[in-house]
Amino acid sequence: MSLSLVSANFDAGGSIPAVHTCEGTDTAPALSWSGAPPGTKSFALIVDDPDAPDPAAPTMTWVHWVLYNIPISAVSLPSSVRGTDLPPGTRTGLNDWKKSGYGGPCPPTGRHRYVHKLYALDVVLPDPGHPTKAELEKAMQGHVLTQGELIGTYQKRGR
């Protein structure tokens, strides 16, 4: 069984609504998942943009959201969820704005892909504070049972 990740706000490969971007209220889209394998103890979520800064010549991956220790009882995150509304036990990492929490799409040019990756882990991770994506990925090594992925796209109006 594979881990399925979907959003009520956009279809796989579809455009992320402006409300979830810097041109709107910059709030997270709703996400839901199913298909966690036996032995799953927690989930981690990383949302990033591999097309930064320009999809015609990307030079980096920009990190938008880092969550970990999402409890196995959670099967979704509601639209516009904030840190205080996350499922109990969920921890936030740092995005590339050096903030914890969601930072929505805000591409300087062109249509970018935003990759939402949900990992089923066989552990609840130790709490290192607010890890970066790289620090979280290092902590997850050897503990990923499976992962699900959802890609949305966004291009600023008039660009």
Give pTM, 2 decimals.
0.96
What domains are there in the chain, each with its CATH number? 4-154 (3.90.280.10)
The pLDDT tens digits for 64-91 are 999 999 999 999 999 999 888 999 999 9
Tell me if 42 sits within 8 A of 15, measured CB to CB: no
pLDDT at 22: 96
The pLDDT tens digits for 96-138 are 999 999 999 999 999 999 999 999 999 999 988 899 999 999 9
Strand partners, 141: none
Candidates 100, 115, 38, 96; CA nearest to 68 is 100
